[in-house]
Amino acid sequence: MGKRVLRTKLCDMLGIEYPILSAGMGPTLMGETTGAPVELVVAVSEAGGLGVLGGSGFTVDELREAIREIKKLTSKPFGVDLLLPKHIDSKGALGATGADKLPLKEILGSLPKQYQDWIKKIRTEMDLPDDDVIVRFNTTTMRPAEAVQVCLEEKVPLFAAGLGNPGFMVAEAHARGMKVLGITGNSKNARRMAESGIDMLVAQGYEGGGHTGRVGTMALLPAAIDAAAPVPVLAAGGIGDGRGVAAALAMGCIGVWVGTRFLATNEGGALPVNKQRIVDSTDEDTRVSRAYSGKTLRASYNGFHDLWDQSGLPPLPFPTQVLLSSAMLGSFIKAQKNEYVGGLAGQISGIIHEIKPAKQVLEEMVEETVEILCSKLPAAVTCK
Ligand SMILES: Cc1cc2nc3c(=O)[nH]c(=O)nc-3n(C[C@H](O)[C@H](O)[C@H](O)COP(=O)(O)O)c2cc1C
């Protein structure tokens, strides 16, 4: 069979062959670098989609190096995703020391006492070792202004903001020939972001892996499309094969932003135990909880969720809660208590049965989408 054609306006906007983007994915715990590394970005962009680097766990210097590495490995367009939180707890537990990095066990002492006591209690009861996670204070999430500057200087073809509104940098990005993408989980925010001048919007539904809102993808997409018009919308949350892509295009989206399916590839940046958990999951095996980051976040269901629920503690604010979850997950990983480990992942885990090369995932997605739109749908639906 010859090469398939699947084009939308997004392909012209970004100079790509297929309207499929691999999502920007950051790390699960502090000390990890990313879920969407250079290798994934290059594989997806080379295969005709657009790969997006998950830049939130990199230091500012590593971010620049990774961007330059991508440019060395592919001449195709690519993207960078950063988190741009409105408020950073830089004077509290995260960053008060002035050091660039410290072992997590040294800084846990800055958490409120009841949280320290709880960590100690679980570690004692379960006979867990200390974590050996290193906390880096100079990540792009802690230094968003510097990180955005790197993206501008490097003229990254697509800049994506996973948290926060990137409207403030649109004029500078456009002057450098870049495109800017915002991400939202509700129609109110979709309107606000569209008005700030961004080029395109990702609407991510409740099904999605990572930080998530309350609205399911099926209800969110038409609402976000209406609210953002004329700014075009890409669909995210629960897309894992051509059926999801075809549905998103039918609803009026110009493309898709796919996380969990690309995480569970050879090139995806998750720990092997987390990739395996995705493969082993049914559609019911993820949970939304504030246990990981302090914000609502979907991850593969595991024993840490239950331990946290039983603690009765209110979650610490983002990103301080990440210290606590990193401490616990780090200990569980070290003790090989895999039933207490799980990474960020979406409900679409239920249809993912195999870790494959990202190129194959993309090609199969394209093939199935074309098959549905050109053959199956016309055969199954009679309309005039
Ligand atoms: C492991 C993982 C890490 C993520 N980290 C980020 C991130 O750093 N920034 C961001 O904008 N979104 C992040 N997300 C959300 C994705 O960008 C995307 O919106 C989501 O995965 C789409 O839903 P899906 O998982 O059902 O495909 C993450 C998702 C996962 C699974």
Q: Whose CA is nearest to atom 21 of ligand 1?
A: 259
Q: Of 20, 70, 25, 72, which is closest to residue 47 (Cα–Cα)?
A: 20
Q: Whose CA is nearest to atom 4 of ligand 1?
A: 25
Per domain, the residue ranges of the chain are: 9-88+138-271+351-380, 101-137+272-340
Determine the distance separating the centroid of ligand 1 and the alpha carbon of 184, expressed in angstroms: 12
Whether the CB-CB separation of 184 and 236 falls below 8 Å is answered with no
Determine the distance separating the centroid of ligand 1 and the alpha carbon of 259, expressed in angstroms: 5
pLDDT value at residue 88: 57
Whether the CB-CB separation of 291 and 308 falls below 8 Å is answered with yes
The kind and range of the H/E element at 366 are helix 358-371
Angle between helices 217-228 and 187-195 (to 10 degrees): 30
**Domain spanning 9-88+138-271+351-380 has what CATH number?**
3.20.20.70
Question: How does pLDDT run across 132-143, given as a tens digit for each residue?
Answer: 888 888 899 889
Please give the distance of CA 10 from its chain centroid, rounded to a whole number. 20
Determine the distance separating the centroid of ligand 1 and the alpha carbon of 11, expressed in angstroms: 22
Ligand 1, residues at Cβ distance < 6 Å = 23-26, 35, 54, 56, 81, 83, 162, 183, 204, 207-210, 236-239, 257-260, 263, 343-346, 348
Ranges of the chain with pLDDT below 50: 91
Residues sharing a CB contact under 8 Å with residue 188, sequence separation 6 or more, in sequence order: 227
Strands 297-300 and 286-289: antiparallel
